[in-house]
Amino acid sequence: MNPRERYLETLRFGRPDHVPLHPGGPRESTLAMWHTQGLPEGANWVDTLATEIGVPRTAFDGAIGLPDLTKMIPTFEEKVLEHRNGHYIVQDWMGAITEISDQFDYTYIRSAKDFVTRHWHSFPVKNRADWEEKIKWRYDPADPKRFSPEFWAQAEAAQASDKAVAISINGPFWQMREWVGMEPLCEMMVDDPQLVHDMAKTWTDFTVAVLETLLRRVRLDVLRTSEDMAYKAHSMISPRMTRRFLQPTYFAWRDILKSYGDAIIDMDSDGYIPHLIPIWIESGITVCDPIEVAAGNDIIAFREQFGKRMAYTGGVDKRAMAVGSQIMRDEVLRVAPLIADGGFIPSCDHGVPPDISWPNFIEYTRLLAQLEGWL
């Protein structure tokens, strides 16, 4: 099988020749630490890992992502408003006023380059007038800048590759939170539900139009969406509100994808998610991740409860990986039954933090490779 076939067969509970080897991805601080622990400077960590454990480089392949098609046009001007007490206060390209340590530049605000703490001071939408005047008009699916010749060249190259073709689109909760802020959005769902419906419908109509333009020319295998809508013990909004405000978007994505093929919808959400999984299943979402163990998620219990209606990636406790040795082995072996059961690509349950050493990461990946049939 090529990587595309292997990836899709695994997540569709098929019969892959092997499960893709996706141990997880490091951030900048993790790579910096690994370079002090044996990873050569300038070396590609995936290439080095493949050599260290003796598997083909293609074992790590799966999906190739297309560039973002849903960014607002035009963006806000990015600018530093103030520099004080070791922090920058910045207006970012989405119009939010954000504070970040000056050990990072402001591009870290909207990029997962590292584990960065940010403080959000304000967001551009506080009422309907803000929504109409500052934001809504920036999401025109027909803007000629949205689909550039360079994008189509990258899309054609991705489709010609042996990898699954994926695109990422923010979920409606995530996107509205970027416009309004998390707590104000939750309050707005009670105080001004019509405005929330308008924002959600605008996002739905916009993303469906973008997807249709893409799907007319490109075979899409995976739509990746992110919501990050749960804390350690609960979801941020109730299941009822999720169905009311968010599910229409999920239904619309499901329908447009089915009309052009059979792309997977993969939901990423941190936090404790078992109250949300039934809604995602109803909505045509068939994969979710990263299944954070520290948030109380039990991937084995999820399989017993939801069966093969949901596949997973992630699920390996980063804390056990950091300890290494038998504790790490026991954690990987805990989730190993799902590898044989199908619909599961084991991986670190979030970005790989710097307390997971390079030797421990090698040991962990070697164990995954053995369980997945690569060794």
**241/299 same-domain check:** yes
For the chain, the domain total comes to: 2
Q: Which structural domain range is residue 169 located in? A: 3-71+125-371
Specify the pLDDT at position 80: 93
Candidate from 196-205, 226-235, 298-307 with smallest mean pLDDT: 226-235
**227/116 same-domain check:** no
Question: What does the buried/exposed string (b/e) look like for 76-103 if buried means 16 or more CB atoms within 10 Å of the residue's CB?
Answer: beeeeeeeeeeebbbbbbbbbbbbbeee
**102/10 same-domain check:** no
Global pTM reads 0.96
Round to whole Å and give the CA distance between 121 and 208.
31
**248/296 same-domain check:** yes
236-277: pLDDT as tens digits: 999 999 999 999 999 999 999 999 998 999 999 999 999 999
326-372: pLDDT as tens digits: 999 999 999 999 999 999 999 999 999 999 999 999 999 999 999 99
Strand partners, 122: 97
Q: Which CATH number characterizes residue 63's domain?
A: 3.20.20.210
**315/325 same-domain check:** yes
**308/257 same-domain check:** yes
Among left, alpha and beta (phi > 0; psi -120 to 50; other), residue 363 is alpha
Specify the pLDDT at position 117: 86
Q: Among residues 60, 92, 123, which one ends one of the domains?
A: 123
Q: Is residue 257 within 8 Å of residue 265, measured between CB atoms?
A: yes
Specify the pLDDT at position 107: 83
Q: What is the 3-state secondary structure (H, E, C) of 108-157?
A: HHHCCCCCCCEEEEECCCCCHHHHHHHHHHHCCCCCCCCCCHHHHHHHHH
Give the CB-side neighbour count of residue 23, counting CA atoms within 13 A: 25
**247/223 same-domain check:** yes
- What is the chain's mean pLDDT, rounded? 96
**13/31 same-domain check:** yes
118-142: pLDDT as tens digits: 899 999 999 999 999 999 999 999 9
